């Protein structure tokens, strides 16, 4: 049965997703320009940087400077990503909006490739994060399961493994006496299809019917927007997306890793379906054009080139 939401919340990932994998050095000022432009579109959360080792992710070498130069707009959260405790501590020393999360990878191989930690080591580190969040009054929102639909190193990830990881996240939260807003399922390497979205979400709903879900979908194999539609059909109302389709995971294990679903394409689809986003699509298209000017090449987004269909 269809269960389309009336409204969705979109977290913009373009600045982090896009610039972390860029082959060319992007000037700090242009990154800031892009972030500030996105903040005018109605997007309420922008993931700006990743606090990672610049030797491994050179595109984030100026993460500190980016956060320090943004002129913040009221009502917009400017967040960053950390993959270990060192990154969290670095974020805490900078003017970013700290929103606590806990993260586990369903694939053991990808976990080691992405964070240099096994799943067991990651679970132990999440316990430390929760203690830090609580001691510093950092709000805790989502749990994340990465590679929830497949892995380039291990292939398909069994639904039972995804369920186990969700159980671990909920257990971590319960032991820390915190309540998660919900669970994000991340198709980190773009393995998902609408069928796998339906199967995984269906299994979760059967086990935890009241658990709120979000999705982080990559368009690596061209199924991103179809997967987003299927998630919408199943009632999912929180989505990560990347303006102009910028980005990709630098540890995904394949050349030309694609970014999240394109924000403006997804917003267009939602609006045409009568689903509210709170986002100004025309302003978002201008941001997509700006993104292409910054990186100096055509990006995957469609609406910025085809135009927005309007009634005559």
Residues recognised as catalytic:
249
Burial of 268 (0-12, 13-18, 19+ CB in 10 A): buried
Determine contact, residues 257/113, Cβ cutoff 8 Å: no
The answer to whether the beta carbons of residues 38 and 286 sit under 8 Å apart is no
Token pair of 151 as six digits: 């892995």
Output the CA torsion sign for 163, 128, 241, 237: positive
Per the CB < 8 A criterion, the answer to whether 260 and 247 are in contact is yes
> 49-55 long-range CB contacts below 8 Å, 24 or more apart?
49/15, 49/16, 49/80, 49/81, 49/96, 50/16, 50/20, 50/80, 50/81, 50/82, 50/83, 50/87, 51/80, 51/81, 51/82, 51/87, 51/88, 51/90, 51/91, 52/20, 52/81, 52/82, 52/83, 52/87
Q: In the block, which residue shows the tokens 């609406």?
A: 303
Supply the DSSP symbol for 300: S
Distance (Å, whole) CA 67 – CA 128 = 25
């Amino acid at each position: 049965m269809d269960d389309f939401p009336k409204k969705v919340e979109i977290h913009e990932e373009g600045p982090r997703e896009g610039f972390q994998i860029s082959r060319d050095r992007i000037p700090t000022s242009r990154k800031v320009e892009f972030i500030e432009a996105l903040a005018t579109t109605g997007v309420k959360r922008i993931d700006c940087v990743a606090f990672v080792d610049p030797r491994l992710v050179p595109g984030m070498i100026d993460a500190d400077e980016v956060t320090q130069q943004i002129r913040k707009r009221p009502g917009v959260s400017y967040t960053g990503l950390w993959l270990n405790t060192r990154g969290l501590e670095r974020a805490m020393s900078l003017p970013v909006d700290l929103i606590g999360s806990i993260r586990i990878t369903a694939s053991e191989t990808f976990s080691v490739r992405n964070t240099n930690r096994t799943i067991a080591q990651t679970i132990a580190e999440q316990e430390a994060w929760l203690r830090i969040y609580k001691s510093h009054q950092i709000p805790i929102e989502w749990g994340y399961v990465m590679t929830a639909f497949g892995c380039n190193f291990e292939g398909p990830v069994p639904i039972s493994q995804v369920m186990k990881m969700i159980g671990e996240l909920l257990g971590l939260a319960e032991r820390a006496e915190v309540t998660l807003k919900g669970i994000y399922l991340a198709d980190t390497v773009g393995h998902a299809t609408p069928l796998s979205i339906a199967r995984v979400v269906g299994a979760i709903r059967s086990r935890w019917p009241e658990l709120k879900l979000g999705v982080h979908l990559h368009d690596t194999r061209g199924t991103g927007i179809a997967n987003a539609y299927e998630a919408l059909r199943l009632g999912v109302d929180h989505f990560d997306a990347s303006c102009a389709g910028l980005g990709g995971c630098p540890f995904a294990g394949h050349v030309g890793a694609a970014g999240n679903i394109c924000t403006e394409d997804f917003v267009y689809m939602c609006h045409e379906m009568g689903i509210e986003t709170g986002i100004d699509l025309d302003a978002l298209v201008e941001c997509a054009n700006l993104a292409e000017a910054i990186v100096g090449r055509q990006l995957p987004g469609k609406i910025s080139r085809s135009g927005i269909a309007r009634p005559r």
